Structure 1
Amino acid sequence: MKWVGGKRQLLPELAKHVPEHFGTYFEPFLGGGAFLLTLSAENAVINDFNPELVISWLMVRDKPEELLKQLKQHQLNHSKEYYLHLREADRDGRLEKMTLVQRAARFIYMNKTGFNGLWRVNKKGQNNVPFGSYNKPNIADKDTIKTVSRYLNDATIKITNADFEKVVLDAQTGDFVYFDPPYIPISETSSFTAYSSDFGYDQQVRLRDVFVRLHQKGVHVMLSNSDVPLIEELYGHIEGIVIDHVSVTRMVGAKASSRKKVGEVIVHG
Structure 2
Amino acid sequence: MTAKPFVKWAGGKRKLLKEISSLFSDNIKTKKVTYIEPFVGGGSVLFWLLSCNQKISKIIINDINSDLMNVYRVIADQPEELISVLEIFQLEYHAFRDNPEGRKNYYYTKRSSFNLRDQQQIIHAAIFVFLNRTCFNGLYRVNKKNEFNVPIGSYKTPLICDKDNIIAVSKLLKNVIILNGDYYETLKYIDQHENCFFYLDPPYKPLSKTANFNKYSNYIFDDSEQQRLKEFCSLLNEKRISWVLSNSDLKNENQENCFFDDLYKDYNINRVNVNRVINNNSKEKNIKELLITNRLDNKKSLILQN
Give ranges in structure 1 of 5+ residues lacking alignment. Answer: none
Partner residue in 2 for 1:16:
22
Q: Are 2:85 and 2:126, in contact at CA under 8 Å, matched by a contact in 1?
A: yes
C-alpha offsets along residues 166-189 of structure 1, whole Å, 9 cap, x if unaligned? 123332452000110000111121
The within-5 A match list for 1:21-60 is: 21-40=31-50, 41-60=56-75
Match of 1:245 among 256, 259, 271: 271
Structure 1 vs Structure 2 CA RMSD:
1.6
Partner residue in 2 for 1:200:
222
- Separation in 2, partners of 1:138, 1:235: 41
Give ranges in structure 2 of 5+ residues lacking alignment. Answer: 1-6, 51-55, 94-102, 251-257, 295-306
Q: By how many angstroms is 1:124 displaced?
A: 1.3
Q: By how many angstroms is 1:194 displaced?
A: 2.3
- Separation in 1, partners of 2:24, 2:180: 25
Q: Are 1:253 and 1:259, in contact at CA under 8 Å, matched by a contact in 2?
A: no
Q: Are 1:26 and 1:168, in contact at CA under 8 Å, matched by a contact in 2?
A: no
- Separation in 2, partners of 1:242, 1:263: 16
Partner residue in 2 for 1:159:
178
- Separation in 1, partners of 2:189, 2:234: 15
Measured at CA, do residues 207 and 27 of structure 1 come closer, stay the same or move farther in structure 2, by a change above 3 Å? same
The answer to whether the aligner puts 1:217 opposite 2:239 as a matched pair is: yes
Partner residue in 2 for 1:188:
209
Partner residue in 1 for 2:82:
67
Query: What SS class does the counterpart of residue 275 from structure 2 fall into?
Result: strand
- Separation in 1, partners of 2:138, 2:149: 12
C-alpha offsets along residues 221-265 of structure 1, whole Å, 9 cap, x if unaligned? 1100011221101101x2xx2111001011124443x11111101
The answer to whether the aligner puts 1:6 opposite 2:20 as a matched pair is: no
Q: How many residues of Structure 1 are paired with residues of Structure 2 in the alignment?
A: 260
Match of 1:179 among 200, 204, 207: 200
C-alpha offsets along residues 67-105 of structure 1, whole Å, 9 cap, x if unaligned? 0011111111213221111101145x4x31x11100100
Partner residue in 2 for 1:265:
290
Taking every aligned residue pair, what percent have the same amino acid on both sides?
38
- Separation in 2, partners of 1:191, 1:198: 14
Q: Are 2:32 and 2:57, in contact at CA under 8 Å, matched by a contact in 1?
A: no
TM-score (norm: length of structure 1): 0.92
Q: By how many angstroms is 1:30 displaced?
A: 0.7
TM-score (norm: length of structure 2): 0.81
- Runs of 4+ deviating beyond 4 Å: none
One-letter amino acid of the counterpart of residue 184, structure 2? E
Q: Which has the larger radius of gyration?
A: 2
